Structure 1
Amino acid sequence: MARWQPGAHERLIIAAVDLFAEQGYDATTVAQIAERAGVTKSTFFRHFPDKRELLVAGQETLSRLLAGGIAEAAADASPLEAVAAGLERASSVMGPVNRQLGPRLKAAVATSTELQERDALKSVGLAAAMTAALIARGVPEPTAHLAGEMGGLAFKRGYAQWSEDDRADGEGLAPYVLTALEDLRMASLSLSFRPRE
């Protein structure tokens, strides 16, 4: 039996993403993932209940960091400033492994409708965490929902740009997600709505 090694969690995620991209989600088994990661099947099941859960690994941690950053933002921060604080907090835990995983994860998600659905649910979960944290700060619900959705989209766009930018070596995720949030804020200013008379 293989001896447990540090980093098994991360190795399982990387192995799964690579196998999903190489041979498709449906054709990949838990045994193959465990073998590629250099662990046993029982080690796999200590970390994940099934292979579907690999895609949402870390979502709870990210949601907690986003909500914590929003909660600790300055009392006079606007909703988007609070979201920016949450994005900065969550970005602080994203390192080189997360950056390298981005393009491989994108390729893996493209192979399966089920993975695309899980990825969409992950985005919804992150936006919901930000929305709830904003509501807890006293932000009105419609504003909190809009700011939370913008934060979720900024995180997704910023992460994609960061992981695909060859010049980003050594640079953290935060500047990318904050730029994406500012781009979305500016885009929202160009929207107009004329109420019906």
Structure 2
Amino acid sequence: MARWEGDAAGRLRSAAMDLYAERGYEQTTVAEIAERAGLTARTFFRHFADKREVLFAGSSDLADALVGALKDAPGPASPMAAVGLALEVSTTFLGRDHQHSRRRQAIISANPELMERELIKMATLGSAMAAGLRERGVPEPDASLAAQAGIVVLQVAFGRWVESPVETDLAAEMRSALDRLIALQSH
């Protein structure tokens, strides 16, 4: 096994994605991922808690960015306007690589355990955003309603973006989904 570990996390992510796509998530072991990456299982566990985390690493960074964007939103911004600004920030994390995101989503969608983990991630992001809105002085239940609406917008926009065979602008998808949600009030 190779000792050199240059970009070990990236190599492990790439190997895992390839194996998950080839064999399926459930049929892939940590040992196989490490071997494909030219590393050891021990190295894998230095970077990821388990094989799911290859797909979900970075979720806490995304939550921190969303809350930071809420905190940085202009003082007079409405709760939904602040959420809209947070969603814009999310695209810098989620919109980096369209093909990777399409592949990742296909792997998640093919496995109930991963779909459950994705729902947990969304719930965690929603809770973090609600807390960020409460810090802005938004009372309950408004903070939770705005945060959860933002998560729905994120899910719909991201879903449309990854379903598109050609890369589109994720930020534009976010704005469009948020505008459509707001327009639904008047129908």
Give the TM-score taking structure 1 as reference length.
0.84
Q: Which residue of 1 aligns with 2:35?
A: 35
Q: Which residue of 1 aligns with 2:136?
A: 137
Once residues 75 and 67 of structure 2 are traced to their aligned partners in structure 1, the CA distance between those partners, rounded to angstroms, is 15
Give structure 2 stretches of 5+ with no counterpart. Answer: none
Change (3 A) 1:18 1:153: farther
What is the CA-CA distance between 1:28 and the residue it aligns to? 0.9
Change (3 A) 1:64 1:10: same
Q: Which residue of 2 aligns with 1:68?
A: 68
Q: Which residue of 2 aligns with 1:117?
A: 116
Residue 1 (structure 2) pairs with residue 4 (structure 1): no
Aligned-residue sequence identity (percent) comes to 42
Once residues 39 and 154 of structure 1 are traced to their aligned partners in structure 2, the CA distance between those partners, rounded to angstroms, is 39
Give per-residue Cα distances to partners, 1:145-179, cap 9 Å, x unaligned. Answer: 1111111121222222223334436x4x2222222
What is the CA-CA distance between 1:10 and the residue it aligns to? 3.4
What is the CA-CA distance between 1:21 and the residue it aligns to? 3.4
Q: Which residue of 1 aligns with 2:93?
A: 93
Residue 78 (structure 2) pairs with residue 81 (structure 1): no
- Is contact 2:105-2:162 (8 Å) kept? no
Once residues 135 and 174 of structure 1 are traced to their aligned partners in structure 2, the CA distance between those partners, rounded to angstroms, is 25
Which residue type is aligned with residue 49 of structure 2? P
Q: How does 1:152-191 map to 2 (within 5 A)?
A: 152-168=151-167, 171=169, 173-190=170-187
What is the CA-CA distance between 1:133 and the residue it aligns to? 0.4
Partner secondary structure for residue 137 of structure 2: coil
Change (3 A) 1:187 1:68: same
Once residues 14 and 180 of structure 1 are traced to their aligned partners in structure 2, the CA distance between those partners, rounded to angstroms, is 31
What is the CA-CA distance between 1:135 and the residue it aligns to? 0.8
Change (3 A) 1:188 1:36: farther
Which residue type is aligned with residue 9 of structure 2? H
Partner secondary structure for residue 140 of structure 1: coil
Which residue type is aligned with residue 179 of structure 1? S
| Count of residue pairs the alignment pairs up | 186
Q: Which residue of 1 aligns with 2:44?
A: 44
Once residues 118 and 103 of structure 1 are traced to their aligned partners in structure 2, the CA distance between those partners, rounded to angstroms, is 17
Change (3 A) 1:81 1:20: same
